[in-house]
Structure 1
Amino acid sequence: MAIKLENVAIAVRDLDAAIAFFTDLGLTVVGRDTVSGEWTDTAVGLDGNHAKIAMLQTPDGQGRLELFEYIHPAAIETEPTLPNEIGMHRVAFSVDDIDAALAIAAKHGCHPLRGVANYQDIYKLTYVRGPSGILVMLAQELQRN
């Protein structure tokens, strides 16, 4: 059986704000829609499911991120995920300039949880708290001489 990762989906409280954050980082919107009806109730497992959705794609075309904002049932606010919690953890992106990526994140009020780390001179990386409390890892591969 062949398998490939199709996308990672994240519920957000403000779809437009989340789109702005991720498109500023370099993703592009490949589609937007409002979905509802029996097929969404069945697929998602929620009666009366109604949501605004957007599919974003990385510049290399390999990674996709689906963002959705619930219209019905009402979204349930929870505490933001902590790095050591079980369950869906974070979305990670490779960037060619972590300082530029952090400047973009800062325009959206998103800052590193603690700072930028150096992993064995292979990567500079950090976690930022993105829109709707999403943990976003940014990693820049360091050039080796």
Structure 2
Amino acid sequence: MPITLENVAIAVRDLDATIAFFTDLGLTVIGRDEVSGEWADTAVGLDGNHAKIAMLQTPDGNGRIELFEYIHPDAIETTPTLPNEIGMHRIAFSVDDIDESLAIAAKHGCTPLRGVATYADIYKLTYVRGPSGIIVMLAQELKPAANG
């Protein structure tokens, strides 16, 4: 049976601020809506489910994130996820320029958890604490030096 990843969904505190963060990083909003009703209650498993949603897509068209801000029931605040906690962990993006991406993130008040690391001379990468406490990994592939 074939299977395809449709999207990753993330509940957020402020939909517009989170959209601004991800669109500044390069994603595109491909749809926005407000959902509620019996179908939403059944699908999500919450009575009175009512949320504002947005679907974002990566420039290559292969990755999608669904963001949702609950109107009802009230959203439940939690402490930000730590990198070693069980459960939904992080969302990761390949970027062309990690320094440029970090500058964009900083405009949104989002900074690395510790710093930028180099993995086996293959990637420069970092974890950033994004809007609503979302952990976002940014990774820039390092190009081997040209022989010449």
TM-score normalised to structure 1 length: 0.99
Aligned equivalent of 2:36: 36
Deviation for aligned residue 1:124:
0.2
CA distance in 1, matches of 2:3, 2:124: 31
CA distance in 2, matches of 1:144, 1:56: 32
Q: How does 1:95-110 map to 2 (within 5 A)?
A: 95-110=95-110
Describe the superposition over 1:38-66 as per-residue Cα deviations: whole angstroms up to 9, x where unpaired: 00000000000000000000000000000
Q: Any idea what SS the aligned residue of 1:100 has?
A: helix
Deviation for aligned residue 1:123:
0.2
Question: Does structure 1 residue 5 correspond to structure 2 residue 23?
Answer: no
| Amino acid paired to 2:56 | L
Q: Any idea what SS the aligned residue of 1:127 has?
A: strand
Q: Any idea what SS the aligned residue of 1:43 has?
A: helix
Aligned equivalent of 2:46: 46
Name stretches of at least 5 consecutive residues in structure 1 with no aligned partner: none
Q: Any idea what SS the aligned residue of 1:82 has?
A: coil
Question: Does structure 1 residue 114 correspond to structure 2 residue 114?
Answer: yes
Aligned equivalent of 2:19: 19
Aligned equivalent of 1:64: 64
Give the fraction of aligned pairs with identical amino acids, expressed as a percent. Answer: 86
Name stretches of at least 5 consecutive residues in structure 2 with no aligned partner: none
Q: Which runs of 4+ in 1 moved over 3 A?
A: none
Deviation for aligned residue 1:140:
0.2
Q: Any idea what SS the aligned residue of 2:3 has?
A: coil
TM-score normalised to structure 2 length: 0.97
| Amino acid paired to 2:27 | L
Count of aligned pairs: 145
Q: Which has the larger radius of gyration?
A: 2
CA distance in 2, matches of 1:141, 1:14: 31
Q: Any idea what SS the aligned residue of 2:9 has?
A: strand
CA distance in 2, matches of 1:4, 1:124: 29
CA distance in 2, matches of 1:127, 1:40: 33
